[in-house]
A and B are shown apart, each in its own frame.
Chain A
């Protein structure tokens, strides 16, 4: 098999398909990793085919200690023990590290779990033509017990109940998979469908941007010391008037001004405040897509 391959990606759909031929899995909010395990090497590939061994050295080492020649597909995640769900911002912190010593330090304190959902190749046999259900069963046989650093995500047959669980536990979403479907690279298929919940995040509002004149245009968000984009959805006139009166100062909380704030008229707040913001997705750069204000915690 020619590696890297383009991972099979779920397509967005608001419908949850029903019927004998469908199974359902949790959508894990992390970083897609395809792991190639041969007799003597382990190579981790990102969604875009970049080699990620240096980003996840502990995963590379743990996989290398296993026997078996396989190509695994799954998601590397960091489980947030307080929120009881995977935290994308937390794994993003790892993705941003470049210095090997920092990465090794992070590997000691932050546990990466490799959540498996597909088996692409086993002992040199290309399994992509097999039905998903068959691949899932083979994967389960290869990894029968859940370990803290690696396990196979369950395949459920009751989509409605799983969706209910996803919503009540505020997980990112659910993937419906056609049990008889082969593994197809990319998105040109209708066999994996993802449905996402609206997610809420606690943001620190550190600054304001303005349109022409003195009109407040958006709030600058920071999450885990990183720029997280701007939000304007959900602001009304009375909130705006309250916000523009907050005291500001001239020091930016960011080491480097984020690229999309260059040439923007802005002020930094002397005392940042908290906002609960909902959005459907966080980009790979840690920016919220289509954010919406749920609640502002102005004193």
Chain B
């Protein structure tokens, strides 16, 4: 795993240097856009009405459109400077219980490893969290984006999940056609409860798989296999085996010559050994 961020957790006077690693990965299958006839990939050109030729990267800056067609400009250095002003610190401000946080807040999970010389402080925070059963709520800036974060322990490893700020969560009142408090039929409710009871179990994520992905992978490998029959460059496979046979033969020939010269052990067994593949090549 690659370190995606380096910094430190601070809570009170304790300072824990940590490295972050992405905890999850996407298994999406990406497809490329191709020309229907030529099967060549579609590419994009960076152009603008004022300069129909491709715009070189050095002529590209960034701008914020504050009203249609009007921009304030930023160059790379300015943006760089702004992000550097953000602190390299995960500052824990509160400790809360896990059940208090609604899952709607969660974004992305990172594993944390102790940074250089941080093992003791890391263990201290981890043990304290484990024993108290609490979760640390922190402020953090990752890749020039600030967010809330929850620090907790997963399988003996400190982890951090970034969270939305409350302002980023849309209120339920914006959902159209939500029924008000209408009457529910008591008999139907009993039925529904029974059904829930019957299907109640413990959460076992391993029994779920992305079925669409499996079907698509299967279709892809079928297609690749189909094409291979037409274009298969078979010789490559045999090459290493051929070369090994040649090497074995050439060394045995060299040995046979040497043996003849010194009229040492009988060479009669040599030929059969060259064919049989068991054991050591050469005298035993």
Show the binding face of A for B, using Cβ within 8 Å. Answer: 23, 26, 77, 79, 81, 84, 98-101, 104-105, 108, 111, 113, 133, 136-137, 140-141, 144-149, 151-158, 161-162, 165, 250-251
Contact = CB atoms under 8 A, between A and B. Distances in A.
A250 B236 contact: no
A140 B217 contact: no
| Interface SS, B side | helix
A55 B224 CA distance: 19
B14 interface: no
* Closest 5 pairs between A and B when the two form their complex, measured CB to CB: A157-B282, A148-B237, A79-B240, A81-B236, A146-B241
15 contacts: A79-B236, A81-B236, A98-B25, A100-B217, A144-B278, A145-B277, A146-B277, A151-B244, A154-B247, A155-B280, A155-B281, A156-B281, A157-B281, A158-B255, A165-B247
A105 B225 CA distance: 10
A251 B59 CA distance: 12
Contact of A140 (B58, B240, B244, B278): B278
A130 to B, nearest CB: 15
Given A98-B25, A108-B228, 10 more contacts: A26-B247, A77-B240, A100-B27, A101-B217, A137-B279, A146-B241, A156-B251, A157-B280, A161-B251, A250-B57
B282 A156 contact: yes
Contacts of B241: 146-148, 151
B27 A99 contact: yes
B40 interface: no
A75 to B, nearest CB: 12
Contact of A108 (B225, B239, B250): B225
Contacts of A165: 247, 250-251
B283 interface: yes
A140 B278 CA distance: 5
B185 interface: no
